[in-house]
Structure formats: C-alpha cells, structure tokens
Amino acid sequence: MSRIETLIDALRRFYGQLPTPPRDPFGVFVWEVLSVRSTPRQRDAAFRALKKIRALTPDAMWRTPQKPLEESVALAGPYAEQRVGALRTGADRFRRSPRLTQLIRGPLPSARRALRGLPGIDQGGAHRMLLFAADQCVLPVDASVCRVARRLGYGDSTGPAGKAARSVRNALQLEIGSDVAACRRTFLYLSHHGASTCLERDPHCAICPLREACAYGRKKLSIADGR
C-alpha cells in the first residue's frame, strides 16, 4: 500500500463514507453548478429537489417550468437566478452536443476541449467531470486538496498557486498511478479534510487523524505546547 493510500484509509476511518458526485456527465454538471458558493448540505438538498421533479437530464431540465426549477435551485442558497441561467444554458449545450459523453471518455486533449464553454465549469470542474463521469484518471486539485497535500509533503511547498497545484497533482499521481477508484477516493477525502479539519487558518491539528504523518501539524502542536 502506497503512502497516500494509507493516509486516505485513515481519513476514511475518521470521516466514514462520503457522498460522491453523480456518474453521468449532466449530473456532474448540475452538481457543479449547485456547489458554487453553497454548502454540501444545501447542494445536496437542491440536487434531491431536482431529482424529485425529474429535471436531471438535459431534455427534462430544458422542459421543466421555471417556477419549480427556481424553487429547487433556491435550496442551494444565494445566486439562484445565476444558477438557473447556467443550468438552462448547460442543458441546451448538452442537447445540442449528443456526442459530448463519448468525447469526454476519449483522449484527454479532445475531452478537455469538449468541456470548454460549459457554464459554471472551471478547470477544477472539468477535472471532476472527467474523473467521476468519464473514468479518466485525472486528479482535481482544488484549494483544499492542494493545502492538505502540501502540508503532508506532496508537491512544491512554495511558489504560485497554479504551479503548486500542478506539482501536487504530479506527486500524488505518481503514487496513484492509473487507478481511477483510488484517484476518486484521494480527491474526495483530501478535499473534505481540507474543508472540515485541515483549514487554511486555525486547522484542528489536535484531532487530525494524519497529525503523526504531517510535519506541519507536528510543528504547530509543538508550538502550541511551548516546546
């Protein structure tokens, strides 16, 4: 078992089973739009509401009347109008691009190009789409993943954010290899850990299950103990 697999296993025991994004491309797109500036609980409530009104396919989303769509999306929190607009635009894009699912499961350069222009889908969202909906072993490195990984000694601990994210992705994928399931677990647990415990400011190192493997955490705890 690689070092990252051991660390992720410790996080799995600590947090239990985590919710995962949908496995179909349009579902991941909806998940991403609902996630922006929203909490996981709000996002999940909105996603369940859209599922209840059967609006989770491009054609169904396009046909759904405005009022129930707005009411469902509003559960994700503020910016409901922008979310509804992004969902309508994205649904139309999926309807007009019947080969999109096939394209994102093909060679990576073509897959990335196929996702350009989808509203609400930045580079991180594109990587999550490729990983969860297209079985591509591409590790998304959001701010939480980057922060946790760097504290654990992966990637470049200095330099600009973009360069650091690439170095983190390269370092982690050396251990993950081409294992898509391991890539998904690594992203989910590092991202959740960074949002819940390994915070940017005032991380909860005392309760962290990885503190013995984390030089940053050991140093912080030593300072707190006055050693």
What confidence score (pLDDT) does residue 82 get? 95
3-state SS, residue 108:
helix
Can you give the residue ranges of every domain in the chain?
Answer: 25-133, 140-224
Band (52; pLDDT cuts 50, 70, 90): very high
Looking at the domain 25-133, which fold is it? Answer: Endonuclease III; domain 1 (1.10.340)
Nearest to 120 by CA among 93, 83, 156, 152: 83
**pLDDT tens string 54-68:** 999 999 999 999 999
What confidence score (pLDDT) does residue 225 get? 62
Q: Examine the pLDDT at 110 and tell me if it is beyond 60.
A: yes
More confident: 159 or 102 = 102
Looking at the domain 140-224, which fold is it? Answer: Endonuclease Iii, domain 2 (1.10.1670)
For residue 3, the tally of other CB atoms under 10 A from its CB is 12
What confidence score (pLDDT) does residue 158 get? 66
The answer to pTM > 0.95 is no
Band (40; pLDDT cuts 50, 70, 90): confident
What confidence score (pLDDT) does residue 159 get? 61
Handedness of CA 74, 190, 15, 17 (dihedral sign): positive
**pLDDT tens string 125-145:** 899 999 999 999 999 999 899
